[in-house]
Amino acid sequence: MAPHYASAQDPLTPIAYLPDTDPPPLPDTESSSLPDTESPSLPDTESPSLPDTVSPSLPFSFATGLVPSSIPNATAQHGDINWSGLDIGSISAQDIAIRMLVLPMLEGIMLMPHGGPGFGDYWVGVNMADTEGVVQRVELLAIAPRPESIGYCVNYNNTFFIMFFDPADDRIIIQNGSPHPLIFQELDGDTVREVNCNRSIVADPGVWIIGTGEDGSLLEFQVLEKASYNVTSLTHTKRSAGNDTTTSKTRRLANGSTTRTEVSQLASSRNPLLNLGQGEAIKIGAGESGYQLSCVAPIADQRRSAVWRAEHSGMTGKAVVVKVVKPLSAHKDATVEAAEAWLREVSIHSTVGNHYAVVPYLGSDARFHSIYTDYIDAKPLQFHVDPEGKFNGNIVRAWRILGDMAAALCFLHKHDIAHGDVNSGNILFHPLRGAFLHDFNHSFREGESHEGGGAPWYLSPEYLRDGTLRGRASDMWALGVVMMWVLGHIPLPETQPGWNVSHIHPREATSDINLDAQVAMGTWIEFVITSKKSLYEQGGEIEPIIDSLVQSKKRDRVDSATLLEQVSKCNLNH
**Concatenated DSSP letters of 208-265:** EEEEETTTEEEEEEEEPPPPP-EEE-TT--EEE-TT--EEEEEEE-TTS-EEEEEEEE
Q: Note the pLDDT of residue 571.
A: 75
- Rounded to 5°, the CA angle 316-320-323 comes to 145
Each as own residue / partner, the long-range contacts of residues 285-292 (CB below 8 Å, 24 or more positions apart, any chain) are 285/97, 286/94, 289/147
Q: What is the mean pLDDT of residues 97-111?
A: 92
CATH among 3.40.190.10, 3.90.79.10, 3.40.1410.10, 3.30.200.20 for 230-374:
3.30.200.20
Burial tier of 574 (Cβ tally within 10 Å: 0-12, 13-18, 19+): exposed
Q: What is the CA radius of gyration of the chain?
A: 27
Of the pLDDT bands very low, low, confident and very high (cuts 50, 70, 90), residue 265 is very low
Adjacent-strand bridge partners of 259? 251
Q: What's residue 570's pLDDT?
A: 87
Q: Write the DSSP string, 293-325.
A: EEEEEEEEE-SSEEEEEEEETTSTT-EEEEEEE
pLDDT at 561 over 90: yes
In this predicted structure, the answer to whether residue 337 has a pLDDT above a threshold of 80 is: yes
In whole angstroms, give the CA distance from residue 194 to residue 382: 49
The CATH architecture one would assign to domain 379-572 is: Orthogonal Bundle (1.10)
- The alpha carbon of 384 is separated from its chain's Cα centroid by a whole number of angstroms, namely 31
Q: What is the mean pLDDT of residues 154-166?
A: 96
Average pLDDT across the chain, whole number: 81
Residue 29 confidence (pLDDT) above 50: no
Beta strand 100-104 pairing with 4-6: unpaired
User: What integer is the mean pLDDT of 374-394?
Assistant: 96
* CA atoms of 22 and 542, how far apart (whole Å): 72
The tens digit of pLDDT for each residue in 499-516 reads 999 999 998 899 999 999
User: What is the band of 79 on the pLDDT scale with cuts at 50, 70, 90?
Assistant: low
Q: Is the dihedral of CA 379, 380, 384, 388 positive or negative?
A: negative
Q: Which residue has the higher pLDDT, 369 or 250?
A: 369
Q: Which of 40-44, 387-391, 537-541 is predicted with the least confidence, judged by mean pLDDT?
A: 40-44
- The per-residue pLDDT for 94 is 63
CB 464 within 8 A of CB 522: yes
Query: Rounded mean pLDDT of 533-560?
Result: 92
- How far apart, in whole angstroms, are the C-alpha atoms of residue 428 and residue 378? 6
Q: Is the pLDDT of residue 2 over 60?
A: no
CB 541 within 8 A of CB 570: yes
Give 245 or 62, the one with higher predicted confidence. 245
Convert the pLDDT of each residue in 274-328 to its tens digit: 999 999 999 998 778 899 999 999 999 999 999 999 999 999 889 999 999 999 9
Could you tell me what percentage of the chain is helix, strand and coil, using 3-state DSSP and rounding each to the nearest 5? 25, 30, 45
Q: Are 100 and 163 in contact (CB under 8 A)?
A: yes
Predicted pLDDT of residue 44: 42
Q: Note the pLDDT of residue 39.
A: 38
| pTM for the whole structure | 0.80
Q: Over range 522-547, report the average pLDDT.
A: 92
Identify the pLDDT of residue 447.
81
Nearest to 172 by CA among 161, 163, 182: 163
Residues 456-482: tens digit of each pLDDT: 999 999 999 998 888 999 999 999 999
pLDDT band at 132 (very low <50, low <70, confident <90, very high): confident
Residue 165's Cβ-side half-sphere holds a number of Cα atoms within 13 Å equal to 31
**Domain boundaries defined on the chain:** 4-223, 230-374, 379-572
- Of residues 9 and 330, which shows the higher confidence score? 330
d(CA 567, CA 33): 63
Tell me what pLDDT residue 256 has: 35
